[in-house]
Structure 1
Amino acid sequence: MTQSPRTHTNGITAGRLDQATLAENFSDLHPPMDRHEAQVAADRCYFCHDAPCVTACPTSIDIPLFIRQIATETPEAAAKTIFDQNILGGMCARVCPTETLCEEACVREAAEGKPVKIGELQRYATDTLMEKNVHPFDRAEPTGKRVAVVGAGPAGLSCAHRLAMKGHDVVIYDAKAKPGGLNEYGIAAYKSTHNFAQAEVDWLMRIGGISLETGKGLGQGLTLPGLQEEFDAVFLGVGLGGVNALQAEGTDRDGVADAISFIADLRQADDLTKLPVGRNVVVIGGGMTAVDAAVQSKLLGAETVTIAYRRGTDRMGASKFEQDLATSNGVRILTNVMPVAVHGNGAATELELEYTADQGGKLVGTGETFRIAADQVFRAIGQTLGEVPSILDLDGGKIAVTGAGRTSIMGVWAGGDCATGGDDLTVTAVAEGRDAAEDMHEILMG
């Protein structure tokens, strides 16, 4: 149902849909399983020896074991199995592209084209334990060592929890007002409902030994030399702060913005009827962020939403599931096109695109262009590293690391999206934070 919209810039308005419709549109993408559904789903697992799903999981969760524990009606034990490897297993169950990780590797997928619902079973187990307000780990005796963790995203939280569990005192710093990083600010609202990101942080910190200071980051009240002087070790999980520029004319027009900011504004909005959205929205990019921005624009009431990607669908960073999610919500996907110019008199009204072709492995424009209506254009073409000390070695625009996150500076580790080796997934960031903590512990106690 529509309501009287409140016009902002050009065709961008708030209040295209009423609160009831928006509440339905942004409800849980995958409603949680009940006990019977979990039992039926768990019964399909072959409990493979050397299970390929475990190898495909970046955090190496013992998937057959936790599913067997669900099948034997001990979901709390299943949750403990998950949290042993992935302390953010609750969020990962909601946002991980399981269809291209564990479920794609599932033997049932290969044999029948219908994998075991590993992600949904993981959520069932972790939710069961977390809803009892129980923390499954005890903290070791204090070691007297202090560690600074810069960045309260998945990598930083995972690192901090593992260090605290081993008895170290940890201070987490984050430049934003809330902890959670990507989980709080960068994921579609329909993937993480009911303020789960903050509830998970609160639950994680029940291990003890962790303090949190928000509004502080590198270049924002903190320096790396200062942290090194105060703490025994430092972990950097600062994510990616910048957004790549759109190489097209007219990108300074009103209505052109980055998708990350749009998603963050939506996640923090108390009233979605007050969040403006265009009538004709175009998202430039082909990854998860592009799909999240496009689908949510449609759910907010945009009339037409288009994803424009420079290569074919097979090269898109978004999985086939995410692409299907977009099209099922009425999003059009244009491939082999790149932006040339944003047209309009002060504010965007049209986007000019040029067809592309692959010539000897190099992407080139064909010279053939066309225009589509666009009063709101979102950039979702990748992010860049934000504020980091110049004394750190970089590689490919990220902090260079070796082994379990060791940087070029003794006593400083890094992980997650800001470091080399990451693939911009929550689950990978969790694994890197965990592994860095294990390495730090050995060094600190060695």
Structure 2
Amino acid sequence: MSRTLFSSFPWKKRAMMRRGRKRKRRREDLVAPEIPLDLQIEILTRLPARSLMRFKCVSKLWSSLIRSRFFSNRYHKVASTRPRPPRLYMSLVDHLKCNSMEICQNPRETVLLSSSSSSANSFDQALTMPGIGGRNMVILRGLILYFVCRQACIYNPTTRQSLTLPAVKSNLFAKESFRQSVLYFLGHDPVLDQYKVVCTVVRSSKRYKKITSEHWVLVLEAGGSWKRIEFDKHHLPTRPGVCINGVIYYMASTGLFPRAIVSFDVRSEEFNMFQAPRVLPELGWPVAFIEYAGKPAIIDHTLLKCEGLVDLWVLEDAGKWSTKSLVLKPCQMHLVDNKINMTVEGITQNGEVIFAYRPLIYPYYILYYDLQKNDLRKVRIRGIPKHWFRKPDGDARFFFKHMDKSESIMHLEI
């Protein structure tokens, strides 16, 4: 019957065939063409980090891509150009039982507070992470290095991933001495794109008349392990260091030569030592190492509270120092409390030095000193748990670090 109908009316058969071809073309038009991989990468680099962490489960290709070092570096460059409020990290440490050189598996309490600037004169607590945080935090390219006793950790606040580093097996731990110290530094080699952790183990006699030190380096990658680096000039690092253009700088004492600057080339893994300016006081609390205009610099605020004077020593080429003195405006002297000690806790990308009061007193404030404009402003820190203010001065230790636009999605592994 149908054959007779189509044979009698051939135009109906041709019309139905045309409609079938049109429906087939419409179905083909609905299938999106495959997006090139280069375009996928460009799209992913512009997404929030939280979304990228979820998108790792889309496919094995996306998971390996997002975890790759190539993509994390690409994302870091794009994220640094986006408008993003700076973050202030405050580490609160209470570990009186952990003052020994043994590895502490369960410190009494360590808390890391993170806050973004909500106004011109205050910070509000954004999150609290019990169990994360420690002494002498080092922030580099979106990663945070901290340690409690002999145990060091790397924390990525973007991915919320924490990596505990293996312990250094030094022979100095087995020898008796008046004091033993372990300090860590974090560096990045921009040429080979490698992160390295430097550990300095120090054994010293009373009053530091005799100092013995060992130096170890660990590459932050899969299969990384500690490797000992020889350096015949024994020294004790006195303050946290900074990494500038692939070189770590920090202040140190050698006992007989108390004012020394030590540099460590992250790529070649070579140490170097040279003299600090002779006019500086002992390299203690009133002196700190910062990055100033892309160069290592020493800031001395010994006379800030009484005379409003800050001295800045910048390390130029060939180990030469240039000096600059800043005098605080008389109308801002009331911002400096002459009865409370202050420490330098870092510098922002805009050239503002962060001064922190010690001890922890409620209400708690920090100072931002703009070295370019010679301007000082006072910032109140809100959100600190109240029980920290009730601790005795010797029980609570706290450290500040400022992170500008750095944001890293680097996957941590050893």
Q: Please, what TM-score do these two structures have when normalized by structure 2?
A: 0.24
Larger radius of gyration: 2
Q: Please, what TM-score do these two structures have when normalized by structure 1?
A: 0.22
More helix as a share of residues: 1
More strand as a share of residues: 2
